[in-house]
Structure 1
Amino acid sequence: MGGVRGILLNSSILFATDDNENEDTTLRSGADYLLQKLRYSKILTGLSYGQGLSAPKANLLQELARIYSYDCFILSSSSEDYGMSEAARLWGKDEGSFMHVISSCHVDLIHNMVISGWLIVMLGSHLQNSTIDAKYVASRGTSSIFSIDNLKELPITICNLNKKVKQAGGKETMTVGYVMKRSREEDFAKRGAFPLRPTENGLIFLPLNYELPISYQLQQVDAILHKATDEIVAVEMVSSAEFANQITFTRNMEQLKRYIECQPDCCVIDPFSNIYPVLDRLKIQQILLGLENLNIKGHCKIRGPNFLKVDSFYELDLEQSLVEAKLALPNIVKPQVACGVADAHSMAIVFKVDDYKDLDVPLPAVVQEYVDHSSLLYKFYALGGKIFYAVKKSTPNADTLMKLSEEKGLKPLLFDSLKSLPIAKENLQSGCQEHLNSNDQHIDLGLVTDAADWLRRMLGLTIFGFDVVIQEGTGDHVIVDVNYLPSFKEVPDDTAIPAFWEALKEKIDSEKSKQPRKAS
């Protein structure tokens, strides 16, 4: 595999330039960003500095190298290869190029690096102001010397270089631009999900940066992977309006959304319109009614829980409405808005009808059947056509909850579903279609797989998750939650991440096949 496989960041591009250059250890704008993005990029990274660098700066570089697990090279000012030999020796001679990112350099050193096959990236206008001969740059720069104005542009430069690498069979490499909140991005990245080097199936991942022109960045990518639910500001639940018109995203996400809407051929994973149903618990419950078509007489069935939408807990006929919806107490009460707002996970388990009055759950709400399920929850993840699952401890059966509530006078149990009730946290087992547990007598994996395929078609989602509980007595498989682009952290990385890449690749190929061929 070719492309950029090693990067040397010179101290001259990491520190801010000021009058007190020898002592100030302030990092240049964009340096922190770049160090973070390269950390899990699958690209070898080193920091380099000369022997004349001040002790405070040298100490900081050594500390940064330790924090990010980078190599650190102390360069001799008289070294003709400017540290290239040491880096090449340490990093090996596998296929691919090394890149040196600098702010200024003498033409002889540039010449040596180019001759040795290194790529040179110079920051800002230093390329024009350095001692490099203009004719030399003109003749060599198109293939070996590049210039950037901002450190945050470097990932784009790397992606564009690595995109030129052809895969086995001559297949092209494709770039996936991604955007999500920082904590989620880091969780994915540290598992190796977002490399800047091509994956086995030819994908490169570019972090989209709102501080750079978004339109230019999106012109460099083949697909956009987003977690738009991370950037919801507000949701106005008005029954007469379309759900899509009730969501307010951050200004940056709105900008991205507008661009996508103006680019009908843009491959989005997944379209905003496809994720709206997952944000609305009522809509999901209504969709799950269609699972009835998958059930076969004489076999255990898969379904959604019985449910009822409530606009007010003071409705005079609430008790009758619960009976008509086949909702026996206790019930679990959830906000209709499923995610993206602060109180979307504020829920309650109610044991008496009278306790609906003054219930502290945001309205409108969805009242769901509470299913006795032996405290076992099956978390399923659909990554393209592959299904993975993990078994986790869940809330107790209703009789146990009743005993817990009796200690408080049968008052409703209020909880945040992200933190959950006090239950055991360990996973019991995990599996996938290729490695199923033959001793698992509880779950009908064939039935759940059929349901996952059906949900994929109904929702049009590439990567999603859903939770299943098995009702005691009946054996009904009940889907109690559906979510978009979950972390699937319970699945081992060596299994989950290749499946993640394959799901994205299949989606991109599918979308590209639908686009009309351009006339030659």
Structure 2
Amino acid sequence: MGGVRGILLNSSVLFASDDDENEDTTLRPGADYLLRKLRYSKVPTGLSYGQCLSAPKANLLQELATIYSYNCFILSSSSEDNVMSEVTQLWGDDEGSFMHVISSCREDLVHNMVISGWLIVMLGSTGQKSTIDAKYVSASGVSSIFSINKLEELPIIICNLNKKARGKESMAVGYVMKRSREEDFAKRGAFPLCPTDNGLIFLPLNYELSISSQLQQVNAVLHKATDEIVAVEMGSSAELANKITFTRNMQELRRYIECQSDFCVIDPFSNIYPVLDRLKIQQILLGLETLNIKGRCKIRGAHFLKVDSFNNPNLEQRLVEAKLPLPNIVKPQVACGVADAHSMAIVFKVDSYKDLDVPLPAVVQEYVDHSSLLYKFYALGGKIFYAVKKSTPNADALMKLSQEKGRKPLLFDSLKSLPIAEEHPQTGCQEHLNANDQHIDLGLVTDAADWLRRMLGLTIFGFDVVIQEGTGDHVIVDVNYLPSFKEVPDDIAIPAFWEALKEKIDSEKSKQPAKAS
């Protein structure tokens, strides 16, 4: 049996009411979820309905087809033959099978489609499915009928069929992250339900279903656990793992993952904890000193100081000892996952630290004059990509701006950034980075990326670099986990993303002991 090369969702599974003449347009639970997941799955999808469907329902289906870029197929009284021919002409006759998803009340739609090699997924009674199975089992003894109790289960069936069709070459990757982030990745083609060129199939994990049963279907889990942080207690002396409280769902996922010794996680929770702590990252970046060679540009982290109170009488002396001349940039120690993690300030005089409105504990960081240019680097496995973006101005320009406001601290949200000059971003990759921008020492940045990968144990991460005027120092000012890398063209970034995941899975698989036959 081949993979799934096209899906028809019958109106009987989309509406809460099974009666076609009923004008109630309420969607069945899970219908909106399924429509969204299939939209960017790279599996052609259409909506089917009979001529007797009420006008309000038919109109809504047409609207949904427009919103999600689906096709609409009308089942005539002569039944499925015309629709099957229309689907084949529209979606092609490549290898694999078309699938029709119907409710158990529409057994009348089964016969011709199964005979023609279609797959049928029935939403409803398992008992009824068994009865139908007896009529339509193929000569090989394989059933073309599948049963689900919830629409959310359909991606699992599609994933398994596509994985089976591809054979040992395929690997299923279950993924979970907040909806906005997932849709951003998905619309760029990152999460197809059909196999990628290197054999990856992406399955959205759903907390409405059993997590353990879903994870049994996949070879690896890609997660953005930082999307599901409830609280972080940076004031605690406990280990990082004990400072973070995740949502109940993420806690369940983490418990299951930690019990699976042969399970590939991209990336282990323990590896992402340092990225949540700006102080920890700054301490790790001190190790960049080992990469520096005399006569070459220097790469380093910014000078820094942890502050538990802005009213410390020795603060000025501590700033001097930490090589932190004014102005300074002040950031919360917690780097992400909570509402005020991005509430920052640029401070121009020591007196302004008193009652500064930045969450404590905080990290005071060196403000580096960098010609208003920020280099955003993305490490996807062993490949490095970058984007050049306009950044905040040098200290003298900031000082003038602060004087206009009485030298008060400049408060800002780093996700929105300070007002800057119009952006003219440039992008590139390691193969031609030097040619495009002579300021960047490609070898140095690549060495730093490799070093960070080893130190952090992360598969996909980003880091921001500024080049200090005068010294040419390459200063890493931020490190983040699983960034969106939106500045890199999709036709370059997405295949590199898939390659990085595949290499990680293969690497973890090679570490597992061979199972006895």
Band the TM-score falls in, shorter-chain normalisation: over 0.9
Give runs of aligned pairs for residues 464-483 of structure 1, distance below 5 A.
464-483=461-480
Distance in 2 (CA, whole Å) between partners of 1:166 and 1:60 is 36
Q: Which residue of 2 aligns with 1:414?
A: 411
Q: Which shows bigger deviation, 71-80 or 172-181?
A: 71-80
1:333-378 C-alpha deviation (Å, 9 max, x unpaired): 1000000011100111111111111111111110011000000000
CA distance in 2, matches of 1:516, 1:203: 23
- Is the aligned partner of 1:367 residue 2:364? yes
- In 1, the alpha carbon distance for the partners of 2:133 and 2:286 equals 70
Find out whether 1:38 has 2:35 as its counterpart. no
8 Å CA contact 2:129, 2:145 repeated in 1: no
Q: Name the SS of the counterpart of 2:100 in structure 1.
A: strand
Letter of the structure 2 residue corresponding to residue 163 of structure 1: K
Other-structure match for 1:388: 385
* Alpha-carbon distance, 1:315 to partner: 1.0
Tell me the distance in 1 between the aligned counterparts of 2:79 and 2:37: 30
- Residue in 1 that maps onto 2:197: 200
SS at match of 2:57: helix
1:136 and 2:132 correspond: no
Q: Does 1:441 align with 2:438?
A: yes
Q: In 2, Cα distance between the equivalents of 1:293 and 1:153?
A: 51
- Give the corresponding residue for 1:92: 92
Q: Give the equivalent residue in structure 1 for 2:68.
A: 68
* Distance across 2 between alignment mates of 1:131 and 1:144: 12
Maintained 8 Å contact 1:223/1:266: yes
Tell me the SS of whatever aligns to 2:387. strand
User: Which residue, 317, 333, 337 being the options, matches 1:336?
Assistant: 333
Residues in 2 aligned to 1:188 and 1:154: alpha-carbon distance in whole angstroms: 21
Amino acid at match of 1:328: P
Question: Does residue 79 in structure 1 map to residue 113 in structure 2?
Answer: no
Aligned residues: 516
Q: 1:344 to 1:134 in 2, by over 3 A?
A: closer
**2:504 is the alignment partner of 1:507:** yes
CA distance in 2, matches of 1:450, 1:19: 64
Q: How far 1:3 moved relative to its partner?
A: 1.2
Q: What are the residue-to-residue correspondences of 1:167-206 with 2, within 5 Å? A: 171-206=168-203
TM-score (norm. length: structure 1): 0.96
Residue in 1 that maps onto 2:240: 243
Superposition deviation, residue 96 in structure 1: 1.9
Structure 2: how far apart are the matches of 1:286 and 1:130?
Answer: 60
Moved more, 497-506 or 138-147: 138-147
Distance apart, 1:19 and its partner CA? 7.3
1:51 offset after TM fit, Å?
A: 0.7
- The SS at the match of 2:181 is helix
Specify the alignment match of 2:149 in structure 1: 149
Show CA shifts across 1:2-56 (max 9, x none). Answer: 5111001111111112679521111111110000000000000010111111111
Q: Structure 1 residue 228 and structure 2 residue 229: aligned? A: no
Once residues 123 and 495 of structure 2 are traced to their aligned partners in structure 1, the CA distance between those partners, rounded to angstroms, is 35
Check conservation: 1:350, 1:413, Cα contact below 8 A.
yes
Give the SS at the match of 1:163: helix
Matches within 5 A, 1:445-460: 445-460=442-457
Displacement, 1:82?
6.1
Q: CA contact under 8 A between 2:79 and 2:109: conserved in structure 1?
A: no
- Is the partner of 1:368 in helix, strand or coil? strand
* Cα pair distance change 1:349/1:323, threshold 3 Å: same
Contact 2:374 2:391 in 1 (8 A): yes
Deviations 1:162-193 (A, max 9, x none): 001237xxx42100000000000000000000
Contact 2:101 2:121 in 1 (8 A): yes
Alignment-mate amino acid for residue 171 of structure 2: M
> How far apart, CA to CA, are the structure 2 residues paired with 1:509 and 1:59?
48
* Greater Cα shift, 112-121 or 445-454: 112-121
Q: 1:20 to 1:432 in 2, by over 3 A?
A: closer
Secondary structure of 2:190's counterpart equals coil
Q: How high is the sequence identity, in percent, across the aligned residues?
A: 85
Note the C-alpha offset of 1:131.
11
Matches within 5 A, 1:182-331: 182-331=179-328
Q: 1:52 to 1:203 in 2, by over 3 A?
A: same
Q: Does the Cα contact within 8 Å between 2:389 and 2:424 map onto a contact in 1?
A: yes
CA contact (8 A) 1:105 1:131 kept: no
Q: Retained in 1: the 8 A contact 2:20–2:52? A: no
Deviations 1:294-321 (A, max 9, x none): 0000111000011010111111211111
Over 3 Å counting, the alpha-carbon distance change for 1:21 and 1:431 in structure 2 is same
**Residue in 2 that maps onto 1:349:** 346
Question: What RMSD, in angstroms, separates the aligned Cα atoms of the two structures?
Answer: 1.8
- 1:383, 1:503 within 8 Å by CA — same for their partners in 2? yes
SS in 2 for 1:83: helix
* One-letter code aligned to 1:489: K
Partner in structure 1 of residue 11 of structure 2: 11
Name the amino acid aligned to 1:111.
H
Residue aligned with 1:240, SS: coil
Which runs of 4 or more aligned residues in structure 1 lie more than 3 Å from their structure 2 counterparts after TM superposition?
A: 18-21, 104-109, 127-134, 137-143
CA contact (8 A) 2:352 2:408 kept: yes
